[in-house]
Amino acid sequence: MAILERAFATRELQDPSWFRRIFSDTRLAPLWALARMYLGYQWLLAGWHKMWGDGRWINLPGEDGGPLKGFWERATTIPEEGSPAIKYDWYRDFLKYMLDNEWYTWFSWVIAFGEVLAGVALIVGAFTGIAALAGATMNFNFMLAGAASTNPVLFILAILVMFGWKVAGWIGIDRWLLPALGTPWQPGTVTKPIAEAAGHGLPGRHPGST
């Protein structure tokens, strides 16, 4: 027991200064803004194609989600020769379940709107970390389904933007949104009175307080 207590005793491991300089320093905000806007532009473009493009996924004359249905069918097919697009059986079962239940009719809307919203949020820098997480989740799912395309690059970029969530939206709405709304562990100027009224205030934890 003593060895476990010693191993997991309360201690905080500090990030090296170069790590903090890259992911927390506002002097690098212009670089993060460029990365964030590029990512957002790519998502907006992808979403635009699915919403309004020639090969759109929604707003079709017949049943919505035809292209998504085709994508899922191709992804879940196990070829007689060669390796299947999906490597994980559980993910193939998951897609087959959605396919069998015709979820592509509404899921194509979720993907199209999700891509446009993530793109716009990244471009304007609103809830940048959450928008990057949404983008990374979509990249992750496309890659699991066997579609490489630009997904690996966008996935890595989204992970980096998530690491730099504090500064990635500095040249963006987050510059005002985050101090106003705060975080779950540190209420902002707007949410602080509400948190204190609810008895969840954390006196002494705010940098401005003594």
Site of interaction with another protein (CB under 8 A): 33-34, 37-38, 40-41, 44-45, 48-49, 52-53, 119-120, 123-126, 171-173, 175-176, 208, 210
Vertex 163 angle, CA 159 and 145, to 5°: 15
In angstroms, what is the minimal distance from the CB of 82 to another protein? 31
Least distance in angstroms from the C-beta of 125 to another protein: 7
**CA pair distance 126, 5, nearest whole angstrom:** 42
- Environment class of residue 135 by beta-carbon count within 10 Å: exposed (0-12), middle (13-18) or buried (19+)? buried
Half-sphere exposure of 56 (CA within 13 A, CB side): 16
Q: Select 48 or 103, whichever has its Cβ closest to another protein.
A: 48
How buried is 22 (Cβ within 10 angstroms: 0-12 exposed, 13-18 middle, 19+ buried)? Answer: middle
Nearer to another protein, 120 or 160 (CB): 120
Q: Looking at beta carbons only, is 57 or 72 nearer to another protein?
A: 57
Min separation Cβ 39 and another protein, Å: 11
Q: How many CA atoms lie within 13 A of 172 on its CB side?
A: 29
CB of 160 to another protein, least distance (A): 18
Nearer to another protein, 44 or 145 (CB): 44
Q: How far is 42 from 142, CA to CA, in rounded Å?
A: 15
**Is the Cβ of residue 47 or residue 144 nearer to another protein in the bound state?**
47
Judged by CB, which is closer to another protein: 44, or 138?
A: 44
For the bound state, the minimum distance from the C-beta of residue 120 to another protein, rounded and expressed in Å, comes to 5
Closest CA to 129 of 140, 141, 121, 138: 121
**CB 186, min distance to another protein, A:** 16
- How many Å is the maximal CA-CA distance in the chain? 69
Complete DSSP assignment for 37-76: HHHHHHHHHHHHHHHTSTT-SSS-SSSTTHHHHHHHHHHH
